[in-house]
Chain A
């Protein structure tokens, strides 16, 4: 599905990510963990086109997408959420999802301004799709509320829904459980599993919350100072001395 081949990301003298080799098969849920500053989000940014990798290539569905623009990569089917929630503050919940629907609507500025018949049909379909997505996460009742007035956990869900509205085949989640209480985290685990099945997704997620990662991922990669120090099943990772060292600081 997606693979990164020796992807390195350097900022001046700092190597944020070096020789990252991730390989994910279709419908897998894979975790990317590591201590703060390990380069996890940088890896995401290199995959989604926010940064152009200094070295290496990113291959998605057999196609080299290295250095493409973020919106082009989203169009190919990679969607993401952000560590610090990035909803559009001046829009309501539904509009937030509708903007993401625009990508697949394929209408230009004239067709949409003139509200041509073709546009109207697409707009109506987008609204129905957006509402069905919101319904599936229990946000339909709040569709007309300001996105930022939602409680934190729901804002996170809305971000995931917004990403789903671009109809991706690969979903990158950047700390989806950040700031959630244990109950919400548990719900989130179920939710991630269910969207994978319902929308036929492949998921790569960054998470600090070990219970969530271990519970939902089939495989995981561990980064430390930009270097991949381990990868394997949750059980293997839990026993890996290098991982324990990185997290607990054994000397």
Chain B
């Protein structure tokens, strides 16, 4: 009975969500739709980082690198030879790459696969490290990837980047991928394999003693996370339609980390909420960077002021809700209805 009610509520919620996205896509302006879609991409990215950080306990700062790999692979695979010729005006593109053109879904998968492959190469040596050391190593690898991309002129067009990438990341595409990621993560985390990941996070020594192949679990998590980061990066490229190496710096990784920490390390719900809140705020607070006029005091615009707001927000969350908005809890209907019940009960008590 109760289970049936929750299933109905979930279906209703999903229908509402699909309706809301459809309505937003149809009525909102291009700028707003873009923010909406950016949130979806950040959901994918935040989930992928959360898999590492929140569920396997690996502190990695290499996400921007894997996103770059994904973005470049997908962009190069979907461009027509003519577009490539237009982009590579300094030095011609490698001949075999020039003639390859794949449909977008395949290119997206290839983007993830390549990012995953890079993760295998990087992960094997780096995953022997722990905690902060791993973070520094992955950070270094991400920078190496970026420098390689900047200098591989005939492969990536170097610092000029790639322009006129086809805009495949429509509202439906990005939100479908986001939904798929959420479902995938839920299924993974609730499975037996997901439990071993949490065991590795909570106590590695105990996990090993109970027969968990810690290195394998860590590697798997690292590769899956990188696959998702690659897909997210590819979607981002196909939304902005231009990519260049400067996009994929540490700042990008930190934005995703901010989402994960704000939402709650180890909470899928938290990552979803965090991704939407941070993306929307990031744009909504843009006026802070503009020149402002408070009647008597005029400022010339302080680029980066909105990041100050984020820093303050992060500090507040870290001080008052150490584990983020959701902690490591997930959304469920019983808890959700419980909140209203309690509020209703207390207000009813107040009246009498």
User: Contact at B195–A99, with CB atoms within 8 Å?
Assistant: yes
Which A residues touch B198, using CB under 8 A?
88, 90-91, 95, 99
Total number of A residues with any Cβ neighbor in B under 8 Å: 39
Stretch at the interface among B141-149, B205-213, B250-258, B335-343: B205-213
Q: Are B195 and A86 in contact (CB under 8 A)?
A: no
- Chain B residues 153-201 with CB under 8 Å of chain A are 184, 187-188, 191-196, 198-199, 201
Is B150 part of the binding interface, using a Cβ–Cβ cutoff of 8 Å?
A: no
Q: State which of B192, B209, B210 has its C-beta within 8 Å of the C-beta of A112.
A: B192
A109 and B199 form a contact (CB under 8 A):
no
Nearest-neighbour CB distance to chain B for A143, whole angstroms, equals 14
Min CB distance A52 to B, Å, is 14
Judge if A250 is at the interface, Cβ distance under 8 Å.
no
Docked Cα-Cα span, A82 to B211, in Å, equals 14
Contact A71 B214 (CB under 8 A): yes
| A112 B193 Cβ-Cβ under 8 A | yes
A95 vs B195: C-alpha distance in the bound complex, in angstroms? 7
B212 & A99 in contact (Cβ 8 Å cutoff): yes
Given contacts A90-B328, A99-B199, A109-B220, whether A162 and B210 have CB atoms under 8 Å apart is yes
Residues on the B chain within 8 Å of A71, using CB: 208-214
A112 touches B199 (CB 8 A): no
B193 touches A91 (CB 8 A): no
Docked-complex contact A108 and B193, CB < 8 angstroms: yes
- Residues on B with beta carbons closer than 8 Å to the beta carbon of A123: 191-192
A115 at the interface (CB under 8 A from B): yes
Q: Give Cα A162 to B205, complex, Å.
A: 14
Stretch among A27-35, A72-80, A177-185, A221-229 lining the B interface? A72-80
Q: Which of B196, B199, B203 has the most CB of A within 10 A?
A: B199
Query: Does chain A have a CB within 8 A of B131?
Result: no
- Chain B: residues with Cβ within 8 Å of the partner, total of 28
User: Given contacts A71-B212, A90-B328, are A107 and B193 in contact (CB under 8 A)?
Assistant: yes
- Shortest CB–CB separation between residue A83 and chain B, in angstroms? 12
CA gap between A69 and B205 in the complex, in Å:
12
A199 to B192 CA separation, bound complex (whole angstroms)? 24
Q: By the criterion CB–CB under 8 Å, are B192 and A86 in contact?
A: no
Q: What string of 1s and 0s marks CB contacts (under 8 Å) between B242-278 and chain A?
A: 0000000000000000000000001000000000000
Bound state CA distance, A113 and B194, in angstroms?
A: 8
Does B330 sit within 8 A of A, measured CB to CB? no
Q: Mark A66-108, 1 if CB is under 8 A from B, else 0.
A: 0001110011000110100011111100010011111101011
B206 near A88 (CB under 8 angstroms)?
yes
A103-B184 Cα distance, complex, nearest whole Å: 23
Residues in A with CB closer than 8 Å to B201 are 90
Q: Which residues of B contact A129 (CB under 8 A)?
A: none
Residues of A within 8 A of B191 (CB): 112-113, 115, 119, 123
The smallest beta-carbon distance between B9 and chain A, in angstroms, is: 22
Q: Which residues of chain B come closer than 8 Å to A41, judged between CB atoms? A: none
**For residue A74, which residues in chain B have a CB less than 8 angstroms away from its CB?**
208-211
Which one of A86, A98, A115 lies within 8 Å of B205 (CB-CB)? Answer: A86
Please tell me if B202 contacts chain A, counting CB pairs below 8 Å. yes
Closest to B214 in A: A71
Whether B211 and A86, one on each chain, are in contact in the complex, defined by CB atoms closer than 8 angstroms, is no
Q: Is the CB of B195 within 8 A of A87?
A: no
CB-based contact A87/B192 at 8 Å: no
Q: In the complex, A100 Cα to B203 Cα: how many Å?
A: 13
| Chain B residues positioned under 8 Å from A112 (CB to CB) | 188, 191-194
- Name the contact of B202 in the complex, choosing from A91, A122, A126 (C-beta under 8 A): A91
A217 interfacial by beta-carbon distance below 8 Å: no
Residue from B194, B198, B209 having most chain A Cβ neighbours under 10 A = B209
- B192/A107 in contact, CB under 8 A: yes
A50 x B187 contact (CB < 8 A): no
Bound Cα distance from A139 to B43, whole angstroms = 39
* 3 shortest interchain CB distances as A-B pairs: A103-B211, A112-B191, A74-B211
Excluding A86-B209, A90-B198, A99-B212, 10 further A-B contacts by CB distance (< 8 Å) are A69-B213, A74-B210, A74-B211, A86-B206, A95-B198, A99-B199, A101-B192, A102-B211, A108-B193, A109-B224
| A-B contact list, 21 entries, CB within 8 Å | A48-B209, A50-B208, A70-B209, A71-B210, A74-B209, A74-B211, A75-B211, A80-B209, A82-B206, A90-B201, A95-B198, A98-B192, A99-B212, A101-B192, A102-B192, A103-B210, A103-B211, A108-B193, A113-B184, A123-B191, A162-B210
User: A-side interface residues toward B, CB under 8 Å?
Assistant: 48, 50, 69-71, 74-75, 79-80, 82, 86-91, 95, 98-103, 105, 107-109, 112-115, 119, 122-123, 126, 162-163, 165-166
